[in-house]
Protein backbone atom coordinates (compact mmCIF):
# COMPACT_ATOMS: atom_id res chain seq x y z
CA UNK A 1 0.00 0.00 0.00
CA UNK A 2 1.31 3.44 -0.91
CA UNK A 3 2.31 5.82 1.81
CA UNK A 4 1.18 8.81 -0.22
CA UNK A 5 -1.99 9.44 -2.18
CA UNK A 6 -1.51 8.92 -5.91
CA UNK A 7 -3.77 11.48 -7.65
CA UNK A 8 -2.36 10.78 -11.12
CA UNK A 9 -3.14 7.07 -10.83
CA UNK A 10 -6.65 7.75 -9.55
CA UNK A 11 -7.28 10.26 -12.33
CA UNK A 12 -6.04 7.80 -14.97
CA UNK A 13 -8.47 5.07 -13.90
CA UNK A 14 -11.28 7.60 -13.37
CA UNK A 15 -10.78 9.08 -16.83
CA UNK A 16 -10.73 5.64 -18.45
CA UNK A 17 -14.04 4.75 -16.79
CA UNK A 18 -15.63 8.04 -17.83
CA UNK A 19 -14.44 7.47 -21.40
CA UNK A 20 -16.38 4.21 -21.44
CA UNK A 21 -19.58 6.23 -20.91
CA UNK A 22 -18.86 8.27 -24.04
CA UNK A 23 -18.18 5.13 -26.07
CA UNK A 24 -21.47 3.56 -24.97
CA UNK A 25 -23.64 6.68 -25.17
CA UNK A 26 -26.87 4.93 -26.15
CA UNK A 27 -26.58 2.33 -23.42
CA UNK A 28 -25.25 4.65 -20.69
CA UNK A 29 -27.24 7.83 -21.30
CA UNK A 30 -29.90 7.63 -23.97
CA UNK A 31 -31.57 4.35 -22.92
CA UNK A 32 -32.09 5.27 -19.21
CA UNK A 33 -33.40 8.72 -20.17
CA UNK A 34 -35.84 7.32 -22.75
CA UNK A 35 -37.00 4.65 -20.29
CA UNK A 36 -37.59 7.28 -17.61
CA UNK A 37 -39.56 9.45 -20.03
CA UNK A 38 -41.76 6.45 -20.84
CA UNK A 39 -42.33 5.87 -17.11
CA UNK A 40 -43.23 9.52 -16.75
CA UNK A 41 -45.64 9.49 -19.69
CA UNK A 42 -47.34 6.24 -18.62
CA UNK A 43 -47.56 6.83 -14.86
CA UNK A 44 -47.78 10.62 -14.96
CA UNK A 45 -50.28 10.65 -17.81
CA UNK A 46 -52.41 7.55 -17.33
CA UNK A 47 -52.36 7.25 -13.53
CA UNK A 48 -52.10 11.00 -12.99
CA UNK A 49 -55.37 11.56 -14.84
CA UNK A 50 -57.14 9.59 -12.07
CA UNK A 51 -54.90 10.53 -9.12
CA UNK A 52 -54.51 14.29 -9.17
CA UNK A 53 -52.33 14.78 -6.09
CA UNK A 54 -50.44 12.89 -3.38
CA UNK A 55 -49.45 14.58 -0.11
CA UNK A 56 -50.58 17.88 -1.61
CA UNK A 57 -48.30 17.51 -4.65
CA UNK A 58 -49.51 16.96 -8.22
CA UNK A 59 -49.02 13.31 -9.14
CA UNK A 60 -46.84 14.09 -12.16
CA UNK A 61 -44.47 16.10 -9.98
CA UNK A 62 -44.72 13.60 -7.12
CA UNK A 63 -43.21 10.73 -9.12
CA UNK A 64 -40.21 12.70 -10.46
CA UNK A 65 -38.01 12.15 -7.34
CA UNK A 66 -38.94 8.45 -7.41
CA UNK A 67 -37.96 8.15 -11.06
CA UNK A 68 -34.65 9.90 -10.45
CA UNK A 69 -33.94 7.69 -7.44
CA UNK A 70 -34.81 4.57 -9.45
CA UNK A 71 -32.25 5.64 -12.05
CA UNK A 72 -29.60 6.51 -9.46
CA UNK A 73 -29.90 3.13 -7.74
CA UNK A 74 -29.84 0.97 -10.85
CA UNK A 75 -27.21 2.94 -12.76
CA UNK A 76 -24.86 3.30 -9.78
CA UNK A 77 -24.88 -0.45 -9.25
CA UNK A 78 -24.58 -1.21 -12.96
CA UNK A 79 -21.75 1.25 -13.66
CA UNK A 80 -19.64 0.18 -10.69
CA UNK A 81 -20.23 -3.57 -11.03
CA UNK A 82 -19.52 -3.73 -14.77
CA UNK A 83 -16.63 -1.29 -14.45
CA UNK A 84 -14.73 -3.45 -11.97
CA UNK A 85 -15.89 -6.87 -13.16
CA UNK A 86 -14.56 -6.32 -16.67
CA UNK A 87 -10.88 -6.22 -15.54
CA UNK A 88 -11.52 -9.42 -13.57
CA UNK A 89 -13.09 -11.04 -16.64
CA UNK A 90 -10.20 -10.03 -18.92
CA UNK A 91 -7.56 -10.93 -16.26
CA UNK A 92 -6.39 -7.30 -16.26
CA UNK A 93 -7.17 -7.18 -12.54
CA UNK A 94 -3.64 -8.36 -11.75
CA UNK A 95 -2.22 -5.31 -13.52
CA UNK A 96 -4.50 -3.08 -11.45
CA UNK A 97 -3.56 -4.79 -8.20
CA UNK A 98 0.15 -4.52 -9.02
CA UNK A 99 -0.12 -0.86 -10.06
CA UNK A 100 1.04 1.85 -7.61
CA UNK A 101 -2.50 2.26 -6.30
CA UNK A 102 -3.70 1.50 -2.79
CA UNK A 103 -7.05 -0.15 -2.15
CA UNK A 104 -8.46 3.25 -1.18
CA UNK A 105 -7.25 4.81 -4.43
CA UNK A 106 -8.62 1.96 -6.53
CA UNK A 107 -12.03 2.19 -4.90
CA UNK A 108 -12.00 5.99 -5.15
CA UNK A 109 -11.36 5.85 -8.90
CA UNK A 110 -13.95 3.21 -9.81
CA UNK A 111 -16.66 4.31 -7.36
CA UNK A 112 -16.04 7.98 -8.15
CA UNK A 113 -16.51 7.39 -11.87
CA UNK A 114 -19.66 5.30 -11.34
CA UNK A 115 -21.16 7.88 -8.97
CA UNK A 116 -20.31 10.73 -11.37
CA UNK A 117 -22.10 8.98 -14.23
CA UNK A 118 -25.18 8.36 -12.06
CA UNK A 119 -25.36 11.95 -10.79
CA UNK A 120 -25.01 13.32 -14.34
CA UNK A 121 -27.76 10.99 -15.50
CA UNK A 122 -29.97 12.02 -12.58
CA UNK A 123 -29.49 15.70 -13.42
CA UNK A 124 -30.31 15.03 -17.09
CA UNK A 125 -33.54 13.31 -16.06
CA UNK A 126 -34.37 16.18 -13.68
CA UNK A 127 -33.90 18.70 -16.49
CA UNK A 128 -35.89 16.52 -18.90
CA UNK A 129 -38.76 16.21 -16.39
CA UNK A 130 -38.89 20.00 -16.03
CA UNK A 131 -40.07 20.19 -19.66
CA UNK A 132 -43.08 18.03 -18.82
CA UNK A 133 -44.05 19.31 -15.38
CA UNK A 134 -43.47 22.34 -13.21
CA UNK A 135 -41.07 21.34 -10.44
CA UNK A 136 -40.08 22.99 -7.19
CA UNK A 137 -37.05 22.18 -5.08
CA UNK A 138 -37.47 23.50 -1.55
CA UNK A 139 -34.14 22.21 -0.26
CA UNK A 140 -31.62 22.15 -3.16
CA UNK A 141 -28.63 21.51 -0.89
CA UNK A 142 -30.31 18.45 0.61
CA UNK A 143 -31.32 17.30 -2.87
CA UNK A 144 -27.69 17.37 -4.02
CA UNK A 145 -26.59 15.71 -0.77
CA UNK A 146 -29.04 12.83 -1.19
CA UNK A 147 -28.05 12.40 -4.84
CA UNK A 148 -24.36 12.22 -3.95
CA UNK A 149 -24.85 9.95 -0.93
CA UNK A 150 -27.12 7.58 -2.83
CA UNK A 151 -24.86 7.44 -5.88
CA UNK A 152 -21.71 6.83 -3.84
CA UNK A 153 -23.36 4.29 -1.55
CA UNK A 154 -24.84 2.18 -4.32
CA UNK A 155 -21.69 2.51 -6.43
CA UNK A 156 -19.89 0.95 -3.46
CA UNK A 157 -22.54 -1.77 -3.43
CA UNK A 158 -22.09 -2.27 -7.18
CA UNK A 159 -18.32 -2.48 -6.69
CA UNK A 160 -18.90 -5.36 -4.26
CA UNK A 161 -21.18 -7.09 -6.78
CA UNK A 162 -18.53 -6.67 -9.47
CA UNK A 163 -16.04 -8.54 -7.28
CA UNK A 164 -18.55 -11.19 -6.19
CA UNK A 165 -19.95 -12.00 -9.64
CA UNK A 166 -18.43 -14.94 -11.52
CA UNK A 167 -20.09 -14.15 -14.85
CA UNK A 168 -22.09 -11.42 -16.58
CA UNK A 169 -25.37 -13.11 -15.64
CA UNK A 170 -24.63 -12.76 -11.94
CA UNK A 171 -23.98 -9.04 -12.41
CA UNK A 172 -27.67 -8.52 -13.17
CA UNK A 173 -29.17 -10.91 -10.62
CA UNK A 174 -29.18 -8.64 -7.56
CA UNK A 175 -30.31 -5.46 -9.40
CA UNK A 176 -33.02 -7.38 -11.27
CA UNK A 177 -34.54 -9.49 -8.50
CA UNK A 178 -33.81 -7.36 -5.44
CA UNK A 179 -33.03 -3.68 -6.08
CA UNK A 180 -35.60 -2.90 -8.80
CA UNK A 181 -38.53 -4.62 -7.01
CA UNK A 182 -37.60 -2.89 -3.74
CA UNK A 183 -37.59 0.45 -5.58
CA UNK A 184 -41.04 -0.12 -7.06
CA UNK A 185 -42.33 -1.21 -3.65
CA UNK A 186 -40.48 1.63 -1.90
CA UNK A 187 -42.83 4.45 -2.82
CA UNK A 188 -41.34 5.55 -6.15
CA UNK A 189 -44.83 5.98 -7.61
CA UNK A 190 -46.96 6.35 -4.49
CA UNK A 191 -46.83 7.25 -0.82
CA UNK A 192 -46.57 4.28 1.53
CA UNK A 193 -49.24 6.02 3.64
CA UNK A 194 -51.66 4.92 0.92
CA UNK A 195 -51.00 1.26 1.75
CA UNK A 196 -53.27 -0.62 4.15
CA UNK A 197 -51.89 -2.37 7.20
CA UNK A 198 -49.93 -4.56 7.59
CA UNK A 199 -48.29 -3.68 4.24
CA UNK A 200 -47.42 -0.16 5.30
CA UNK A 201 -45.59 -1.40 8.41
CA UNK A 202 -43.85 -4.17 6.45
CA UNK A 203 -42.71 -1.65 3.87
CA UNK A 204 -40.83 0.25 6.58
CA UNK A 205 -38.31 -2.62 6.48
CA UNK A 206 -37.61 -1.76 2.85
CA UNK A 207 -34.41 0.37 2.88
CA UNK A 208 -35.30 2.02 -0.43
CA UNK A 209 -38.31 3.67 1.27
CA UNK A 210 -35.95 5.86 3.28
CA UNK A 211 -33.90 6.87 0.24
CA UNK A 212 -36.92 7.88 -1.83
CA UNK A 213 -38.66 9.55 1.11
CA UNK A 214 -35.66 11.71 1.98
CA UNK A 215 -35.05 12.65 -1.63
CA UNK A 216 -38.70 13.57 -2.20
CA UNK A 217 -38.65 15.67 0.97
CA UNK A 218 -35.85 17.77 -0.54
CA UNK A 219 -38.23 18.65 -3.37
CA UNK A 220 -41.58 19.22 -1.69
CA UNK A 221 -41.06 19.03 2.06
CA UNK A 222 -43.31 15.94 2.17
CA UNK A 223 -41.97 12.59 3.35
CA UNK A 224 -43.17 9.16 4.46
CA UNK A 225 -40.50 8.96 7.18
CA UNK A 226 -38.39 11.53 9.00
CA UNK A 227 -35.61 13.00 6.88
CA UNK A 228 -32.99 12.37 9.59
CA UNK A 229 -34.00 8.72 9.62
CA UNK A 230 -33.56 8.61 5.84
CA UNK A 231 -30.12 10.17 6.14
CA UNK A 232 -29.07 7.80 8.93
CA UNK A 233 -30.16 4.73 6.92
CA UNK A 234 -28.23 5.90 3.86
CA UNK A 235 -25.07 6.56 5.88
CA UNK A 236 -25.47 3.24 7.69
CA UNK A 237 -25.61 1.31 4.42
CA UNK A 238 -22.58 3.24 3.15
CA UNK A 239 -20.58 2.26 6.24
CA UNK A 240 -21.60 -1.38 5.77
CA UNK A 241 -20.43 -1.32 2.14
CA UNK A 242 -17.12 0.29 3.13
CA UNK A 243 -16.59 -2.37 5.78
CA UNK A 244 -17.28 -5.13 3.23
CA UNK A 245 -14.83 -3.62 0.73
CA UNK A 246 -12.18 -3.26 3.44
CA UNK A 247 -12.60 -6.97 4.25
CA UNK A 248 -12.39 -7.91 0.55
CA UNK A 249 -9.06 -6.14 0.05
CA UNK A 250 -7.84 -7.34 3.43
CA UNK A 251 -8.47 -11.00 2.60
CA UNK A 252 -8.07 -10.84 -1.18
CA UNK A 253 -11.50 -12.41 -1.70
CA UNK A 254 -12.03 -13.04 -5.45
CA UNK A 255 -9.10 -10.73 -6.19
CA UNK A 256 -6.26 -13.18 -5.72
CA UNK A 257 -6.04 -16.81 -6.90
pLDDT digits (tens, 9 = 90+) for 31-65: 877 877 787 777 766 665 666 678 888 888 888 89
245 inside domain: yes
Q: Is residue 88 part of a domain?
A: yes
- Residue 2 placed within a domain: no
The total number of structural domains that make up the chain: 1
Which among 107, 112, 116, 105 is positioned nearest to 7, based on CA atoms? Answer: 105
The average confidence (pLDDT) of the chain is 87
Share above pLDDT 70 across residues of the chain, in percent, rounded to a whole number: 94
Name the pLDDT band for 236 (thresholds 50, 70, 90): very high
Query: Is residue 197 one of the residues assigned to a domain?
Result: no
Looking at the domain assignment, is residue 160 inside a domain?
Answer: yes
Q: Between 214 and 52, where is the model more confident?
A: 214
Query: Is residue 60 included in any domain, yes or no?
Result: yes
Q: What percentage of the chain reaches a pLDDT higher than 90?
A: 40
Please, which pLDDT band fits residue 1 given cuts at 50, 70 and 90? Answer: very low
* Residues paired with 58 in a beta bridge: 53
**pLDDT value for 47:** 65
Q: Is the pLDDT of residue 177 over 60?
A: yes
In a domain, 199, yes or no: no
**Which residue range(s) make up the domain with 139?**
7-189+208-251
* Assigned domain for 224 exists: yes
> Is beta strand 57-58 parallel, antiparallel or unpaired with respect to 53-54?
antiparallel
pLDDT by residue (tens digit) across 108-156? 999 999 999 999 999 988 988 888 788 889 999 999 999 999 999 999 9
Amino acid sequence: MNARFNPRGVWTVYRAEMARMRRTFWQSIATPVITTILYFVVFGGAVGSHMHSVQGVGYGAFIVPGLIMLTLLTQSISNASVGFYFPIFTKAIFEILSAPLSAFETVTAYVGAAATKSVLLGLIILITASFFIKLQILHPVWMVAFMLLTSITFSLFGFIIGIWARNFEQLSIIPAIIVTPLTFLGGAFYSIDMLPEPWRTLNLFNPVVYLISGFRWSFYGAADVRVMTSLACTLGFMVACLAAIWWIFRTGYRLKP
